[in-house]
Copies of this chain bind each other. A is one copy, B any other.
């Protein structure tokens, strides 16, 4: 198990990383919620702070007095068992607490936690703190993607900063890796931190398959568009087709066609489309349709996990064909933290890998990310599989 020193360092580093992500923002950027899935940055900052106050300080620090009586109401996300909360759709309707007040709240809780973490702690509490740290790391990724949405859908297309790189060069190894039919073990084994949804390592039997060593590029995706991919219902799921028609979707999120050329919003503002880069910000629906057009398919999450050591990954979440469901013997935690993962296990698709926005040391080969199939504001891409 982790030492107290390491835990404290990890905690403090995580707290300051969050603040660093927000450093380039204007106060106004912290406040808005342009779509329901994109939370205001100040809400993320308050919510990750409230998590430590709610689940640790108010439970384990004798005589702890809450920073503000209404903040539990304002910053609770979805924990039904904790009490009332601001509806998710209303997060962007709150101008108060101000950004400065949220920073004061953060500082206060960080300081209380620091004092708390300098003492000897039970294993159970250490586990809770680790969950709080990883919870905040998850919100770091959401912060980045929410910030990108807030800036990238603004008609002024402001840049975030000059340095955040979204695209990396893929390794030189092209082609497909063949995996033989057989029994393989999946799920987390080890004694580091992981989420409950990765536990229950177990064997699965896979048929033979070949998985691409590379992610699909913008160039390949452009060919799909130019071949009428968004106009042929045969490539799409029935509800994807409704989504296309209802929303007038014609390209990935953040693509803009200007004078017959595609441009792409990035953290550095609007740029000509980089055709050599991996395609990004696509829904599961689009990933699936692209694969249909190509005559291939998406991997299942287990096919991905079994093959992942053969290719580079981590710059782009990869849609899988697997629905998000419990592993055998899945047990959710007791109490409010049991709401962390289990209650989302319907109508979502698993993504594997990680992205340029994923916090350091946050992902791993067994990590199961999940989103609804129509969502695109995460850094999401495509890896193909073909049967032999």
Q: Which residues from chain A sit less than 8 Å from chain B, CB to CB?
A: 26-34, 42, 70, 73-74, 78, 80-81, 86, 90, 92-99, 150-151, 153-156, 158, 183, 202-205, 207, 209, 233-234, 236-241, 284-285, 288, 297, 321-323, 325-326, 328-329, 338-339, 343-347, 349, 373, 387
Contact = CB atoms under 8 A, between A and B. Distances in A.
Given A207-B328, A297-B326, A323-B323, 11 more contacts: A26-B96, A27-B27, A32-B32, A32-B95, A74-B156, A92-B92, A96-B156, A96-B158, A97-B156, A322-B323, A347-B347
A330 to B, nearest CB: 8
Contacts of A31: 28, 31-32, 95
Given A155-B70, A234-B80, A239-B346, A94 B183 contact: no
Contacts of A70: 155-156
Chain A contact residues: helix, strand, loop or mixed: mixed
A219 B64 CA distance: 44
B155 A73 contact: yes
Contact of A203 (B81, B158, B205): B205
Contacts of A30: 28
Identical chains in the assembly? 4
Nearest to A100: B26
Given A28-B31, A202-B207, A343 B80 contact: no
10 contacts: A27-B98, A32-B95, A94-B154, A94-B155, A95-B151, A96-B154, A183-B205, A202-B207, A237-B346, A323-B323
Contacts of A343: 236-238, 241
Contact of A96 (B28, B74, B94, B344): B28
A176 B28 CA distance: 51
5 nearest CB pairs, A to B? A323-B323, A34-B93, A80-B233, A205-B205, A28-B95
Contacts of A323: 322-323, 325
A209 B96 CA distance: 49
A153 B95 CA distance: 10
B346 A240 contact: yes
B326 A321 contact: yes
